Amino acid sequence: MAEPTLSFSDLVANPDDTLARAREDGPIAVSDLGPVVVRHHAVRETLQDARLRPSFSRFLQKLGITSGAFYDWMSRSPLDMEGDEHRRWRKLMARTFTPNNVERLRPFLRAEAHRLIDAFAERGHCEFVEEFARQLPSLGLCELIGVPVRDRARFASWADTIGLGFNFVLVGSRIADVDAAITALLAYADELIALRRASPEDDLVTRLAHAAKEEGVSEAVVRGSVAGLVFAGHETTKNQLGWMITLLAGAPALWNEVGQEPERANAVIEEVLRLRSAATSVGRLATEDVEIAGHRIAAGTTLFASLWSANRDRTEFPRPSEIDPDANGVGVQLAFGQGAHHCLGAALARAELQESLIALTERLECPSLGEGATFAPPVGITGPLTLPITVRDRRAASRGVGRS
């Protein structure tokens, strides 16, 4: 049977239906940019195969981006690392991204979530991306890795712009802005590393600052990692928070369940991650001939594993297009990937999402989506760009105060 063709323009215009048709025809589709793995079992196989290595810089080359600050940074980033270098980097990072460290951060996250809610709860409306989703992730990550409080506000703007580099539709037209933002962020990383070498503290930046001599991690990787962590911890979770509200605004029963039983937040967040992950796909480069789900992938081929498609595969999830944590909880959602490049910050992202949802459902009745919401194209990293919502403060409601 011939492999199906998946049109990139169709994918942008209607991702869910386009991917559903591709899944019906087989585990791998042919697209304008190369093979796309679309069925759940095949995506897992792809992510776990060591012969398929990350190569984001190779994808940028396909888009005509072969130089500049962003390209150079990505070429040396963990997204392009493999082998011993990648293992050393993950070992170093794992010392800070431990379950205990993340758990200790939860009270801070919940307090910051309530502080942000305080600013709009009584008003009765907000632009959720600007007033909540852009702010909480940077606060959490900066607290964990040791970025001084006085510097945290600068990161949101840099991170928002760098995020355009991971959207396949937008990166070409905005590469000059992306280059400028990563240049500024790397320069700041150099300053922070120098500060921590002079005045060590018990945080990730201090450990990274001393890693070049102690553990064989290059200086370029050290500075790039500081910048990358600040960016990655902001951009993906910002988008995921926006998707969380977008999905749950249409599910008031689930919203109220979490408000009454906060322990339900874990299952609900996993279902949000499944139904709309911030990352739509991951790219891989075949270092040798590989067989995936019975299909031969030639050495040198760049392919894409569609997380959005895998997470709506009916063979894994009984109700794939619906938000149903109990029914779909039997499957394995792949929002954070799998294998050697499984998202290092998954525990932190889950904590930020869970604590945000607990605080929001405790304080507010289920929000309503307002007019004027805008979304990034559904490729690469994506999510709401603007998300107006109407809310009602539960405390005000109990006093009989209406929405303003």
pLDDT tens track for 219-258: 777 787 777 776 677 888 999 999 999 999 999 999 999 9
In a domain, 174, yes or no: yes
Distances (CA, A) of 288 to 36, 85, 295, 384: 18, 20, 14, 38
- Which DSSP string corresponds to 112-174? HHHHHHHTTTTTTEEEHIIIIITTHHHHHHHHHHT--GGGHHHHHHHHHHHHGGG-TTTHHHH
Quick one: average pLDDT of 307-332? 97
For 118-172, how does the pLDDT look when each residue is reduced to its tens digit (9 = 90+)?
Answer: 999 999 999 999 999 998 988 888 887 777 777 777 777 888 888 787 777 777 8
331 or 195, which is more confident: 331
Where does 199-312 show beta strands of DSSP type E?
A: 281-286, 290-292, 295-297, 302-306
pLDDT on residue 398: 63
Instruction: Determine the structural domain holding residue 97 and report its residue range.
Output: 5-398
Under a CB-based contact definition with an 8 Å cutoff, are residues 229 and 222 in contact?
no
Average pLDDT, integer, range 200-227:
77
What is the dihedral sign for C-alpha 85, 87, 90, 95?
Answer: negative
404 found inside a domain = no
Residue 212 domain flag: yes
Contact 57, 68 (CB under 8 A): no
403 falls within a domain? no
Instruction: Flag whether 325 is in a domain.
Output: yes
214 C-beta neighbours (distance < 10 Å), count: 9
Beta strand pairing call for 28-31 and 34-37:
antiparallel
Structural domain count, the chain: 1
Average pLDDT, integer, range 10-34: 93
CATH of the domain at 94: 1.10.630.10
| pTM for the predicted model, two decimal places | 0.88
Q: Is 344 part of a structural domain of the chain?
A: yes
Please give the average per-residue pLDDT across 207-212, as a whole number.
Answer: 74
Q: pLDDT: is 33 or 111 the higher one?
A: 111
- For the chain, give the mean pLDDT: 88
Q: How far apart are CA 162 and CA 114, in angstroms?
A: 28
> Is there a domain that residue 161 lies in?
yes
Highest-scoring range by mean pLDDT, 192-206, 290-304, 333-347 = 290-304
In this predicted structure, the answer to whether residue 60 has a pLDDT above a threshold of 50 is yes
Whole-number pLDDT of residue 80: 67
Q: How confident is the model at residue 400 (pLDDT cuts 50, 70, 90)?
A: low
From CA 317, how far away is CA 97, in angstroms rounded? 30
Which is nearest to 136 in space by CA: 237, 236, 278?
237
> Does residue 178 sit within a domain?
yes
pLDDT of residue 82: 67
Go through 300-316 and write b for each residue having 16 or more CB atoms within 10 A of its CB, e for each that does not. eebbbbbbbbbbbbeeb
> Which of the residue ranges 66-75, 107-116, 361-370 would you say has the lowest mean pLDDT?
66-75
Q: DSSP string spanning 26-73?
A: -SEEEETTEEEE-SHHHHHHHHH-TTEE--HHHHHHHTT--SSHHHHH
Task: Tell me the mean pLDDT in the region 351-380.
Answer: 96
